[in-house]
Amino acid sequence: MPPQWILYLTILTCCCPAYVICQPYDYPTANLSTRWINSVSADHSVNFTDLSTVRAILLRGTFGPRYACGFYCNGNCDTYLFAIFIVQTNSGGGITSPSIGFPQVVWSANRNSPVPINSTLELTAEGDLQLRDAGGLLVWSTNTAGMSVAGMNMTELGNLVLFNARNMVVWQSFDHPTDTLVPGQILISGKSLTSSVSLTNWTEAGLFNLSMTPKGLVGSVESDPSQEYYENLYRGTKQNKEASYAKFQNGSLQVYINSVEPGNPDFSLTIPAAKSAQYMKLGPDGHLRVYEWGAGWSEVSDLLTGYLGECHYPMVCGKYGICSNSQCSCPRTSANSGSFRQVNDRQPDLGCSEVTPLSCKAPTTQSFLDLEDVTYFTFSSDFEGTDMDSCKQACLLNCSCKAAIFQYGSDSSKGSCYLPSQIFSLMNNEKDKTHYNSSVSIKIQVPPSAASPASETVFPANVVGKKSILGPVLGSTLGISFLAVAGLAFYVRWRKRKDEVEEDYLDHVPGMPTRFSYEELASATDNFTKKLGEGGFGSVYEGTLKDGERIAVKCLDGVGQIKKSFLAEVESIGSIHHVNLVRLIGFCADKSHRLLVYEYMCNGSLDRWIYTPTSLDWNLRRRIILDIAKGLAYLHEDCRQKIIHLDIKPQNILLDENFNAKLSDFGLSKLIDRNQSEVVTTMRGTPGYLAPEWLSAIITEKVDVYSFGVVILETLCGRKNFEFSKPEDEAHLLPLFTKKAEEERLLDLIDSSCEGLESNGAEVLKVMQLAAWCLQGDHGKRPAMSVVINVLEGLQNLPKSLDYNFFNPNISAHKIQPAASQLSTPLLPSILSGPR
């Protein structure tokens, strides 16, 4: 053991008084046959406030940022790297632990296999530098035994050198770069920097690689074959190939290819002149950044970005994400917006995934999403002199091909074809068409449901129950009863036909939520003990998955009826994702059990917050209304297949911990084709929220707009649509709304307990008028949900005249008594569906 190892044990962190000779703190070299143990009591061990710890073995120089080598852990101190790092030292050369400016690792020997406490580093008598774990197993070595190594030196530049008796380099860390260069270091041809997995996981399996090639610098992203995102090549003819290198200098990254004259590179990238220590690192995101010390480390340059632009980085928007002005979105066209979805709703930059994964076994059901104004960060021609159709054809024939990228040649019909085996981020090219004259067609799998010939007609599960309840009211309406009976007959036939295939089908739904076993869900919900609510379809229980995620489990009872609606829910919710829609995490179809697993929404449903005085102020209420509108607009206008919710009411609007509102319960939802705007169906939903056209049996998405209008009013007025405890002329909200509108006293209706409603009268009034627009008796006059959003966001005005008599003439056509009598029938909402 070197003497200083023992000597300075006790005075490690003290400052050197000016009169003490500080030289001994400088411990830059070591002799053969020296062994260091990574033990808690080792010398030069310093803890930092970012929880990292260093145990320096060699350190050169005193005062300021210094290079040292030794053991390092980055917070998780179960394992350590043998690394070279920059630390701050005081005037005595002791490592200081400032509250900012933590040690920066610039090289490490074992980033793929960190070692535990009590591991050893040894410079053996034979001259090999070996790292062994606590059990003595060899983890890493320089393989220099027998090469006349005389000692080890930590140089001024941060290079760890094994030298021989003539002071010549036998091995040096500069020849084995990781993801970092330090000033003075050169990257010779054939060497590269490889990014680590993430900022916290330093494993070398990072995606990015910056290589020095005989022609220049190349940045590439890992793939088979790899894809280049950055190139800085020497195009001259005379090439001094073998000797090409890049050098990190004060002020530049210089690239020498042809030139052999130091200081006169073939090209260079400019870096701000160093005021202090710097290092250059290839990040997990593919950026090459330079950092500088100055009371903490800060970024001083993002070297490639000036050349590339933000959107040019392969993972800027994750896989399949499209980058436009540094905003991310998923691939879609006006005809197809449902093939890709965000991996994470709240983090668009994590990319997109295929709703139906590509299957090499089913190439006949593959097709292309032709993206307009989109280009890719790289192009490497697989075929020349071809046309776009042949390019796509070639892609269909090759299982590993993920997209056909076609670049027009100067003769505009023919061009080159690129068939990448992996798709990283795409770039929007709208403003820059001349630069990249290419077209991108992404290979997609046509989902099995779309491939089947006819779209299914979905009938409500509880059609029987509903008929009997609605019977007395609508008994005279023969048409409705007939429809219900006909519907039921069809439903029974349909079920017989489908029953056998259904179980299997569920097992094989691709891109679907997780399938759980009944036992898993029983254990997650503590045997269904904590009930959250009960509804027409069954009870909802709180639970927690093994990974800690909180869930709401809906048990659907009555297998015969439930099966169909269950399937409808799994199909529709499983494939759509939006921040304002409750996420379906999984389902269970285990023997007779049918359960749905949703994300847990800790603030429950909206009815809990608006029917009683609460702290929900005007801003929150307005945001909730906007959230609902966005969720509905997505269902109506942005899904591949239009989805009508059919049961919009406060019980089906859930609130998360930040009071973000999300629509739940698609049990009554029904998928219709986009080009089929009206569809005959049976009546369903919840009385009070039902649009008048239900009676005419012509149902469009505008029924949801109507129900949404009722929800707006309830939210602003802080009461239920029906309140039988109130005096007769106030029991029904809508007639009261009509009356107050005629009297021009709408603001009388607002919830007096709600903070901010009264002081924002003008705005509240506008939202009430918007509700009136949504409630128009003629469904054709109600706004689309996207228009509702525009109005709420102040981008569009309300129509000048609105009809406050909210009941359609259709009703009288069916000889039904006027509105009031319909509303006064004892149809309690909770009979059909309470909170779910």
Ligand X SMILES: *[C@@H]1O[C@H](CO)[C@@H](O)[C@H](O)[C@H]1NC(C)=O
Helices and strands per DSSP (H, E), number in the chain: 17, 48
The tokens describing 320, both together, are 């399949």
Strands in 514-515's sheet, in edge-to-edge order, are 514-515, 584-590, 593-599, 550-556, 538-544, 531-535
| Whole-number Å distance between alpha carbons of 423 and 375 | 11
Pair 195, 208: CB distance under 8 Å: yes
In this structure, the strands spanning 584-590 and 514-515 are parallel
Determine which one of 43, 382, 647, 665 is catalytic. Answer: 647
State the residue for tokens 């089929």. 676
Query: CB 39 → ligand X: shortest distance, Å?
Result: 6
| Whole-number Å distance between alpha carbons of 522 and 542 | 11
Give the residue with the Cβ less far from ligand X, 58 or 484. Answer: 58
Look at phi and psi of residue 253 and say left if phi exceeds 0, alpha if psi is from -120 to 50, else beta: beta
Closest CA to 38 of 93, 104, 97, 83: 83
Three-class secondary structure assignment of 279-296: EEEECCCCCEEEEEECCC
Give the residue with the Cβ less far from ligand X, 66 or 645. Answer: 66
The tokens describing 52, both together, are 């990292």
- Mark the binding-site residues, compressed into ranges: 554
Pair 181, 59: CB distance under 8 Å: no
Query: CB 251 → ligand X: shortest distance, Å?
Result: 6
The tokens describing 200, both together, are 């916290």
Question: For this structure, is 607 an active site residue?
Answer: no
Give the residue with the Cβ less far from ligand X, 128 or 542. Answer: 128
Query: CB 835 → ligand X: shortest distance, Å?
Result: 41
Query: CB 433 → ligand X: shortest distance, Å?
Result: 7
Closest CA to 171 of 141, 193, 196: 141
State the residue for tokens 């490639």. 304
| Whole-number Å distance between alpha carbons of 832 and 623 | 28
| Whole-number Å distance between alpha carbons of 340 and 82 | 43
- CB within 8 A of 333, min separation 6: which ones? 369, 370, 371, 372
Pair 120, 71: CB distance under 8 Å: no
Query: CB 45 → ligand X: shortest distance, Å?
Result: 5
- Mark the binding-site residues for ATP, compressed into ranges: 554
Query: CB 124 → ligand X: shortest distance, Å?
Result: 15
DSSP secondary structure letters along 441-495? EEEEEPPHHHHSSSPPP---TTHHHHHHHHHHHHTT-HHHHHHHHHHHHHHHHHH
The tokens describing 710, both together, are 């009722």
Query: CB 211 → ligand X: shortest distance, Å?
Result: 5
Query: CB 145 → ligand X: shortest distance, Å?
Result: 19
- Residue 797 main-chain phi, psi, to 5 deg: -95, 165
Give the residue with the Cβ less far from ligand X, 3 or 146. Answer: 3
Query: CB 545 → ligand X: shortest distance, Å?
Result: 20
Catalog residues that contact ligand X under the rule CB under 6 A.
2, 29-31, 39-40, 45-47, 53, 117-118, 134, 151, 153, 155-156, 163, 167, 192, 194, 197, 201, 203, 205, 209, 211, 218, 220, 226, 250-251, 273-274, 398, 400-401, 408, 412, 419, 421, 434, 437
DSSP state at residue 258: S
| Whole-number Å distance between alpha carbons of 312 and 378 | 9
In this structure, the strands spanning 149-154 and 29-31 are antiparallel
Identify residue 508 by its one-letter amino acid code: H
Give the residue with the Cβ less far from ligand X, 251 or 809. Answer: 251
Which of the residues are catalytic? 647
